[in-house]
Structure 1
């Protein structure tokens, strides 16, 4: 390519794109806070910082910078102070604590000194204090045991529960807390009150009544992920600390909010049964009459309530390749706050009066930016100036068993339907994930680089994907792998027939559940010329006994391996290992708790033993995904080189990533 020609975004440029999330609008609507994540190449990290946008001055400023990060901004009721979480300490002792910031004060004020992370918080309605969640810590029994014998734990028995605390901050913006030694600050200023101490439940979320006298919270029996499905709703009297259990559906599933007048609460619950693939519906509960009302009944998808305003409840939901936001009234009337098509709107929030709406929006043409009402207040799209950008198109095809599948097709700007093209299938995770037709920000699949190399890229929203209704999300039950393969290969066949794809030049890659589908294709089929398996499952039995989400497997396969070994074998890539012939790259985090690393070693050893060209890359210290731009760079470059070598015939770049 001539140096004067335009180029697509490089791998490094894609990784460097900032990301916006977690917006907050102050009650008077004059300022907006949001979190901006950037890439620190020298520090090999993705630092996050809270930024504030002053709507009157039309200016932005960061609350923190450099090595001091900040997340989760929340405005005080009088709009004068911004609370946020920031990290304190070094190494293993690094903890998230609450800090305060006010526009007329440069100093940042630390207000909590918890031994453990502060996970979430909310201002009291009068602005005098903050309610927050942090772990209770080890019991006296556990501490004594550690002193006597050293550290060990009983699986499924030793738990550290999330507890609820209240801290009065008062007029803290006028206190120069940083002028005192740490021991005096901790002694004199940390006066957190434990609101729940004797109840052995793990608090998942809460809300405070408008008068500040009650707290409604969701508790689970333990912190285990499997127990997230066993939620109970409680009401706390802040003054007496008395706790009552609310008589709501046992299918409780998510966030809880008070109505503006405090007479009702809303929450989400599963419609029929508690499982990953079932819809979470929105319901209100009258605290006196105990009557329940279902809202947003026409939405056939998971509903996420954000805030209850005077105009209705702000909700978010998916609709195919769109993420939408709207206000639903108690009369079940839905007011859309964003366009219904070609829209991915995330991190929505709104003022109580409903006059100022904030979210992060992206379309097929526009990169994700922060918007206030319809005004775009950030401008990361300038990073695309002078660059070519793949064209995104949503396509539809049908499988042999009659399912209609959508996918996002990325095309080069000079796409010529009369030409023949190689194809990469890039598979999302989940399986209840979704691929969106928005500008590329993927840090595991080098889509723009593939397009620049002349590939078409198909991202299939296979059966089980979110956004297409409950029936579609349940269509992969006891069909993992086999159904996924049909969805993928029918999409490949469709593109061979309609878009000139060369059937001899097709590759597939994915991460997590997408890695599992790639692994299945590696052993089940010879249709692909190159494959990459990222954090993928190779054997459901191995996965079942090692993962931190054991119940995930039982839901999708319908049983455990001791009762139904056949379904575990039928859906496992390792069952078909003797059929494998496709060069396969395997990428996996060393300490992945979600898809434990034995899955990678098992696939690697099997492929080696049957003579398949394969490489296994283990990323030191990495869990299920990378938190370091350097590792994402390696993952992307390894994938690009692997497919360019085995499909386009280019040499592997030994110096760069191998």
Structure 2
């Protein structure tokens, strides 16, 4: 069972994507649609315990928020499974039973008197009037029973015998807690007893029980300062031991684990990013050597689902976005099952490949390079550098085109698109991910410069027509390119990016994450270093036309970061600058008009300065032509 994302037509008004529900039949090789086009956002697909229906989370009725619904395999209308008094965040069926465990957000602050609010007494007390917990509940026979009373449960997994759950619990329902302070607990259903189990440090990812309930495998940071949930560990049920005594099954692994499950009682299977590729491997409990099931370069995926016949995954390649794939455990090969974007087969796309080069200190840097559609060897082309966010993420060699990732849209307009996995990226092991500690925006950015020089020296890129853009940490990189290294870039597009590391650290909703896995110092310990890595310090160097874009409700990188950059470039820069706000958007654009505006506006900016010959000080028109009459067709 799987869902398809459908973009909302602009002519239908402002909104987000919708999803439809489908089931693929391996016997016929066809998919059947069970819930078609609608405004619903379906999530959390699971099979009911008897395997005769697909359950999901949705707002299908007039009840309390999101509930669990289901639809039978033999068709018919969907039906409601839960009628809980709370809107459900996450759920899971009890193995072999009819009960459901679920989490919901419970406010700890009494609601204000609506009559006072209507009179204008609407003062907001920051953080204090938004205190809530994420509680774990059991829904059985129409009754809802709390399983936890303290802390916030961010993820959980049933023990196979249905007697208990492993739960990731943090002290508070705060973004920083969800990043840095989740620890594994055991929740016993019969007694409601909650016991700390694994004192994992720092970030925590997916976890899965072995079929016999003896082991819990989990993906975690290697230590408190590891930026990536990319190492694999196993805890034994009934044993509470220090985290440092657990075996790191990926110690020394030059990659990052993304997901784990079990093939049998003693064999784990895990997916990982290794450089720009996704791989699938298995390893036995107590052993150190893995067996690779699926080599890199065949498909890009993050998670998967294990069954008796194979391992299913939603995967993409350079030629198409996510489709349904199956790894056959007997044939030991992977195959694509669905073709939902057949229209792409007739589109000419730019060649895409992995590239590797040496940074100036000798470190190998990998990345993905997309060629212009009309590429002819021997000619030089303009280049767009797409800098990824994080920095603890990576660009895989798969489908990388979207509203904020120009990809094939830029290739079709005659650009090279260079996407480097600079030091501090994931996919290269723990040491590589930590390589920017206390050194943000320095050597890691020089990795980008060295990659540009590599392409120039190869005779592929025109060094006078290089642009840079990206969001979040990629926005930070773009601001560095527009200021400290402005002599290298003819256009820059920072999106929801950092411009002043001092004020950013004062305003972000993840201050502990920023401290533990990036800076390793507080600002007061070395304020000059923090400011030295701030683009606003170098605004006087600016000679790069800069388009700044930001969601007005961004809690991660406060919108004033873009305002600071804009103001400093207006005061001290020597090139055109424009600031665009997106009302109602946060750390990235969710609504369809904002996404379309971003794509059109940014590509026009690159075209204007990398392909045109504008007079000094000129900018593209303020308004964008959306061609809505074409979108109707």
For normalisation by structure 1, the TM-score amounts to: 0.85
**2:204·2:229 contact (CA, 8 Å) conserved in 1?**
no
Is residue 87 of structure 1 aligned with residue 59 of structure 2? Answer: yes
- Residue pair 1:252, 1:267 contacting (<8 A) in 2 also: no
Q: 1:271-294: CA deviations, max 9, x gaps?
A: 233442575332232425868444
Query: Tell me, what secondary structure is at the counterpart of 1:495?
Result: helix
The higher-RCO structure (CA 8 Å, 6+ apart) is 1
CA offsets per residue over residues 438-489 of structure 1, 9 Å max, x none? Answer: 2442321323232233221211111111111112111112222222331111
Question: What does 1:491-570 align with in structure 2 at a 5 Å threshold?
Answer: 491-525=451-485, 526-555=487-516, 556-570=518-532
Shift of 1:112: 2.9
Partner SS state of residue 656, structure 1:
coil
Match of 1:362 in 2: 316
Greater mean deviation of Cα atoms: 109-118 or 413-422: 109-118
Tell me by how many angstroms 1:432 deviates: 1.4
**For 1:488, what is the secondary structure of its paired residue?**
helix
Hey, what's the Cα distance between the residues in 1 that align with 2:502 and 2:219? 33
Q: Is this contact kept in 2: 1:537–1:595, CA < 8 A?
A: yes
Deviation at 1:99, TM superposition (A): 0.8
Alignment of 1:469-480 (within 5 A): 469-480=429-440
1:123 matched to 2:93? The reply is yes
Partners of 1:596 and 1:48 in 2: how far apart? 31
Is the CA contact 1:584–1:613 (under 8 Å) kept in the aligned structure 2? yes
Instruction: Specify which of 72, 87, 107 is matched with residue 138 of structure 1.
Output: 107
Alignment partner, residue 36 of structure 1: 4
CA distance in 2 between partners of 1:485 and 1:236 (Å): 45
Match for residue 361 of structure 2 among 401, 414, 433 = 401
**Alpha-carbon distance between aligned partners in 1 of 2:611 and 2:567, rounded to the nearest angstrom:** 27
| TM-fit CA distance, 1:653 | 5.8
CA contact (8 A) 1:367 1:380 kept: no
What is aligned with 1:78? 50
Deviation at 1:523, TM superposition (A): 0.9
Q: Is 1:317 aligned to 2:317, yes or no?
A: no
C-alpha distance 304-385 of structure 1, shift in aligned 2 (>3 A): closer
CA–CA distance in 2 between the matches of 1:306 and 1:277?
15
Deviation, structure 1 residue 655: 5.5
CA contact (8 A) 2:497 2:562 kept: yes
Structure 1 unpaired stretches of 5+: 1-32, 170-189
Q: Secondary structure at the match of 2:624?
A: helix
Task: State how far apart, in whole Å, the 1-side matches of 2:445 and 2:552 are.
Answer: 28
Q: Report the CA distance between 1:573 and its aligned residue.
A: 0.2
Superposition map of 1:358-507 within 5 A: 358-365=312-319, 367-373=321-327, 374-507=334-467
1:50 aligns with 2:21: yes
Aligned partners of 2:443 and 2:246: how far apart in 1? 38
Aligned partners of 1:463, 1:247: CA distance in 2, in Å? Answer: 30
SS in 2 for 1:372: strand
Change (3 A) 1:251 1:579: closer
Aligned residue in 2 for 1:263 = 214
Question: What displacement does 1:502 show?
Answer: 1.6
Q: Determine which of 616, 620, 624 is the counterpart of 1:656.
A: 624
- The whole-number CA distance in structure 2 between the counterparts of 1:250 and 1:637 is 43
Query: What CA distance in whole angstroms lies between the structure 1 residues aligned with 2:158 and 2:399?
Result: 39
The yes-or-no answer on 1:639 pairing with 2:611 is no
Whether the 8 Å contact between 2:282 and 2:291 is mirrored in structure 1 is yes
Cα gap change, 1:247/1:623 in structure 2, threshold over 3 Å: closer, same or farther?
Answer: closer
- Deviations along 1:271-330, whole A, 9 cap, x unmatched? 233442575332232425868444344634433444333262232211000122233222
Could you tell me how far apart the structure 2 residues matched to 1:166 and 1:129 are?
A: 7
TM-score by length of 2: 0.88
The CA deviation string for residues 355-403 of structure 1, in whole angstroms up to 9 with x for no partner, is: 3210122333454321133342210352213211010121122222222
Q: Which moved more, 1:37-46 or 1:561-570?
A: 37-46
Q: Provide the secondary structure at the position in 2 that maps to 1:162.
A: strand
TM-aligned CA deviation for residue 618 of structure 1: 0.6
Q: How far does residue 589 in structure 1 lie from its aligned partner after superposition? A: 0.7
State the shift of 1:255 in Å.
3.0
Specify whether residues 94 and 502 from structure 1 end up closer, same or farther in structure 2 by C-alpha distance, changes over 3 A only: farther
Please give the secondary structure, in 2, of the residue aligned with 1:192: strand
Report SS of the residue matched to 2:599: helix
- More divergent stretch after superposition (107-116 vs 422-431): 107-116
SS of the residue corresponding to residue 485 of structure 1 reads helix
Q: Is the contact made by 1:338 and 1:345 (CA closer than 8 Å) also made in structure 2?
A: no
Question: Does the Cα contact within 8 Å between 1:281 and 1:302 map onto a contact in 2?
Answer: no
Q: 1:161 aligns with which of 112, 121, 133?
A: 133
- Whether the 8 Å CA contact 1:286–1:292 is kept in 2: the answer is no
Task: Provide the rounded CA distance (Å) in 1 between the counterparts of 2:625 and 2:479.
Answer: 22
Give the deviation of 1:152 after TM superposition.
Answer: 3.9
CA shift, 1:150, in A, is 5.8
CA shift for structure 1 position 249? 4.5
Helix, strand or coil at the partner of 1:481: coil
Q: What SS does structure 1 have at the residue aligned with 2:302?
A: strand
How many Å separate the matches in 1 of 2:410 and 2:183? 48
Contact 2:213–2:237 at 8 Å: present in 1 too?
no
Q: Find the counterpart in structure 1 of residue 565 from structure 2.
A: 603
